[in-house]
Every structure is written in structure tokens, then in C-alpha cells.
Chain A
């Protein structure tokens, strides 16, 4: 009864104010929009053309985080270079770690590439595993379910709305996943050179084979020595294509594509990384289309 009174009191406010969501990266922004519809107002902190490892705690991010009811980030230390500062400087109690207003997508995802040894001599390794989880559709479905639940918990009067949108999204997503897996069948076994380990989930999902990366070690820019060594290795273990994400510096990938005479594939990496990648569905459609083109 008391609970009911509480919700009745709350109702008029929440009807006016949409759920304010601060998304760290475009993929989670897009997902929050899918699940939140017109009940959520979503701010996306970064773009697909920005390296997700090199974001700064800009004043605008602090200002937006100040008013957020929920921040949706990847976690697994991807945002460690800026998010803790934004959280502590925002003066917003709701979004601090451990609060319901702080959602980490990696908390429900299946992580791969967990290093067994943590040592910076191996480059910029992520102790909790590879944080670029969003290019595995199973992870998107898991995150969607958990995020929908979280949004319902934070905006209880609209629970039914979020639940309906979440199940509709997950259903559409599972359908699309089946389609993508069918379309991407020719990619199985495709030998691919990547730029950074940010495509690992995609490579694993589609059964492609990563034969090398342009970065000598995670987080280190491609060096001439490493590229030459890679080129020599490709002579004996040839790749079909080299893939880089939209935010990567184009030069190294172009260099190796030209020398090794393989195709260059620029994948959008996240929502907004290409004209077609307008939302998560577009992101996957375009990524698979680009890879198929590269595999021809």
C-alpha cells in the first residue's frame, strides 16, 4: 500500500521526465534508444570515429553525466581513462559504480581473451578480457535483456513499456542473427589481418581466422619493423583481406593491403562508423556486407 502511494506520487514526475541515459559508446547508445523508445532521452558520449581507448573527460561529458539517471558503458576497463573522472566530478550519486544507475555491458557478456598474465610488457592488456564485446550478436542479446531490466527497475511505472520493447528487440535481433549467420557462411575460415584486437568477437563469431594484427602489441601503433615482419609472414600464410575499424589510422592498413596484394576492408566497428551503420542492425548488415566484398 505504501509502495503504491509512493509510485502514485512518483508517477506524474516520471511521466514528464524521460529516463536520462548517458551512453559511453555509440553501440550502447543505439541499444538504449531501441529499448527506451520515446521514454528515454539518450546522450552518446563518443562517436565511431573516435578511438574508444583515447577518450578524455571533457567538460561536456561531466555536464551530461551530472543529469543522467543511468550510464551505460562497456566496463572491463575500456573506459578507465576517462569515466572514473566523469563519475567523480559529476556530483551525481546515481551513476557511481555499484549503483543501479551504473550499467556495465561486460557484466553480462561472455568475455574472451582474458590474459593469463598481467604485465604491461605485453601492451595495453585488459585484465578482465577483451572489452570490444558488441560485435558478437549473442552479447548484444544478453546486454539488451539486462539493460531492459535495468531501465524497468529505474523507471518502474514504465516497466511494461520497456519489457515489451526489450522482448520485441530481442526477437528481431535473434531473427536477424540467423539471417546474418546464413549470409556470412562464406566467411567461415576467411584468413584476415586485423588492426587491433577490437574485431576478435566478430572473427570468433563468424569462424574467420585472424592471421595477424597491424599493431605489434595491443595499443601500440603499427611500426615499420612489425609491418615488414607481418608482410613476410603473409607470404607463407596468406590472408584474404586486411580489416580495420573506421577510427583507425588508414595508412598502415593501406600499406599492407598494397604490398601483400590483399583487399582492404573498412568495417564501421560501431554505430555511425559508416553511412549504413545507422543502428545496430545496420552496423551488422554493413559489417557483413563489407567483409563479403573483401572475401570475394
Chain B
């Protein structure tokens, strides 16, 4: 601009009727003035250019994020309205399964039913849950994510819907809404990223598949080179082992800690200890008495669950492309203490005809261990062993000779240790598609072996979010 002005000034000056001014010194004077004018302008222009360059440098160093690749790349795309759309991904899943026992009759003997989706895959062709995942940064301080599951029964289920802080700093992160809890290892992993089609028995028995309460989570990462993460959650306690109810306080809470690190370049590990505390009220389920008639039972009291978990991943030189190995295991231990009611009044000819109540205490445990080996690109084999220990059950109703007997509690007092072997082979043409073959010999039900076989597909469409370790 200024340069242009000075050029114009020069041109005007040059076209002035110089001939009229005969005196040479006059001419010199004018030339001198023009020179001064030009110098002054050039000085100001240089000054402005310098300031502009400085301002640009500051702008670049202050706002790096939003304009990646854009400034340097020729033909940068113009901003569109859709540029701010959240990342959307969709997971399509389905199975074709056969099993020697009807999945509709599935139960885990020795354990109170969790009410979750714990049954094996339905017989025949069946759609799995289609997951819709939408996530984005909300502003510089928060990000948000929704995971909605469209169930094969045509229902919409909110698995996760949470906000998470980005700017607390000091290693702190706050999460709020409904989210997969940080307890254990597998709990926080979305179902489509599991290494087997279904959850370990321990997750089925103690958490109804997973723990995703409504509440708040605070996490802190320690400022150490060893990964140390501590977390706590408070929530509504809306699902098993808790029960949802209307009250002005916390329904369930958790504490968890994880440590992790690398062993050389090839291996990485993480181990953790977690605690979940819930206070279920009238956690009801149905069982059959010794005569095979339905009885309504319910538990009220305290439920405390400990989980110890570890995972180890290995790949030659840390390059997992060709081969890699993953070993994962978790141990669960739960104590429940409170009262149990036994109500057979709904029967036409009840044995007792009353709602009986008595003290109840159980100490139960379970664990699983699984190994996954990618023996060549795209192909993995895996094996998992599950075992539950129905442990000690003190049931005051049985202790009194007049009440129901052990045989009237086939579920709670089965004194049975369910086990399961599962093996799988999967093929992933790309990271967006996976086909899986899985066999299991499931002894969840007392005295019964359920042999299951299934083929599963998992496809991922759209933006593909990062997977957890």
C-alpha cells in the first residue's frame, strides 16, 4: 500500500512541469524532498513489514492446532459447515451360532442372576449390537462422546454418553455422564474390540457383562515415568450388582489404581487393583424351589467387589504388524452381606405361603486368563479359560429348620464352580474388518456342558477412533 503511494507520489512529482522551474538548485531541492519522502515511506514500510512478520510468527506459535496442513499445502480445502461435524463411526456385528443347550435357559449356577446380557449368542443367524460412536472436542476445555447400541431387538441403548475435561492439567481428568468404568481391564474396552465374542464368565457373574454407571469419574496420572493412575467414581448405582432407586445420594462408588510400563522395546504391561461398592435394595430374581415351582427371591445389603487385573503385550521390537502376543487375566472377589427374602406366595400351592427373610452372606470369586497370538499378518488365535468359585454362602433361611432347605435355592446354593474353555481364530483383512470363529465348552450350568460354536463378523465404518491399550 505505502509502496504504491510512494510510487504514485514519485510519478506525480516527476510529471510536474519541471521545465517551468528553471533554477537548478530548486530542482535539487525538490529531488531532495522526494528522496526524503521516499526514505520516510520505505522506513515505515519496512517497519510495518517487520511488525507483520512478527505478528504472523506469534499467530503461528499461538494457534497451531486448528490449521494443520492447511497453510503449507497448496489447494487447501475451503472450510465447510461439515468441517465441525463430530467424528462418527459405526460398528456392524453379527453371528451365526449353534449351541448344544438353549441360550434362553442360560444361567450361572451358584450366582445370583445379574440381569445383564450374559447369555451366549442366539442359535442360528443373529444380528449383534450395532454401535454408533459419535465423538468430538466440545471446546478447548471438554470433549464428548456418545456410544449408542442398536440392539437386535430393535431397541436403542445408551452405552456411553459422557463429557471429559481436557484442560484441568496436573494429571487430572474429570469425566461425567454414563461411561464404561475404569475398574478392571476389560471393562473399559468396547465390545467390538474384545478378543472373544462374549465377556469372561467373571464379568458376566459379577457385573452383568460390564459396569457403566451414570456418575462422575476423577482420574489422576502421577508425574512419574512409571505409569501410575488413580481413579475414583461415584454414581447412581443403576445396574447390577446395585439397584436403581430414587434417592438423594450416591448409589455406588469405585476406586481403582493402575500401574504400567515397558520391558525393553518389545513388551508393555499394565496391572491394576479396583474396588466397587454398591448397596442393592430388593435386587430381585426368580429361581425354582425343590419342587420346580417359581420363587421370587431378592437381596438387600452391601456388595463389595475387588478386581485384580493385568495385561502383557509383546511384539518383536514392539512391531506388532507381523506377529504379536497378548496375555490378559483378571481375578474377581465379591462379598455380599445383607438379607435375603424368599417369597413363594405367587404359587398356587405354596410350601410356605409367606415372604420369608433372613440374613445372607456370600464370599465368591472368579478369574479368567486368556492369550492371543497373531502368528502372521491378519491372523490370530486365542484361548481363554474361565473359572468361578461360588464360595461360601451363609443363608439364615436354610439354617432354621422350619424354613426352606438348600434344595430350594438351586441357584444361590448350588456349591458349584462353573468353568469354560473357549478358543478362537480370527482374520482381519484390515483394521476395519474382522471375521471370527469361536468354540467354547461352557460348564456354567451345574451338571451340563454346553458346546458352542459361532462365526462372528465385526465391521467398522467411518472414522475409526483409537483403541485402548
Contact = CB atoms under 8 A, between A and B. Distances in A.
Co-assembled chains A and B: yes
A136 B166 CA distance: 34
Contacts of B66: 98
Interface in A128-173: 128-129, 142, 146, 149-150, 152-153
Contacts of B265: 47, 49-50
A113 to B, nearest CB: 11
Interface string A79-104: 01111110111111110111110111
Contacts of B68: 75-76, 104, 106-107, 128
Interface size of B as a range: 35 or more
Interface size of A as a range: 35 or more
B468 to A, nearest CB: 7
A110 interface: yes
Interface in B308-350: 313, 317-322
B164 interface: yes
Interface string B225-258: 1111100000000000000000000000000001
A290 interface: no
Interface stretch (A3-11, A31-39, A53-61, A186-194): A53-61
Interface in B88-104: none
Interface in B148-202: 164, 166-173
Contacts of B293: none
B63 interface: yes
B268 A146 contact: no
Contacts of A153: 61-62
B260 A59 contact: yes
B57 A149 contact: yes
Interface string B59-90: 01111111111111111000000000000000
Contacts of A85: 466-468
B261 A49 contact: no
Nearest to A128: B69
A252 to B, nearest CB: 10
A39 B294 CA distance: 74
B72 A109 contact: yes
A291 B429 CA distance: 32
Contacts, number: 187
Contact of B430 (A56, A82, A124): A124
A111 B258 CA distance: 40
Interface string A209-225: 00000000001110000
Contacts of A59: 227, 229, 258-261, 268-270, 469
B274 to A, nearest CB: 16
A114 B73 contact: yes
A120 B468 CA distance: 22
Contacts of A142: 72
A66 B223 contact: yes
Nearest to B267: A58
B15 to A, nearest CB: 45
B219 interface: yes
A221 B225 CA distance: 35
Contacts of B63: 98
B24 interface: no
Contacts of A102: 64-65
B260 A100 contact: no
B367 to A, nearest CB: 22
Contacts of B226: 63
Contacts of B143: 88
Contact of A110 (B73, B220, B222): B73
A85 B319 CA distance: 19
A155 B418 CA distance: 60
A64 B225 contact: yes
B38 interface: no
Nearest to A97: B65
Contact of B467 (A56, A64, A123): A56
Q: Which of B63, B265, B429, B466 is packed against the most chain A CB atoms within 10 Å?
A: B466
Given A76-B68, A96-B166, 8 more contacts: A49-B319, A51-B319, A51-B321, A80-B464, A88-B166, A111-B69, A124-B430, A221-B378
Interface of B: 57, 60-75, 137, 140, 143, 164, 166-173, 219-229, 258-262, 265, 268-270, 313, 317-322, 377-378, 429-432, 464-469
25 contacts: A56-B268, A56-B320, A56-B467, A57-B468, A58-B313, A59-B261, A60-B261, A63-B222, A64-B225, A75-B69, A76-B69, A81-B464, A81-B467, A83-B466, A85-B466, A87-B166, A89-B229, A104-B65, A107-B64, A107-B71, A114-B73, A142-B72, A153-B61, A220-B429, A221-B321
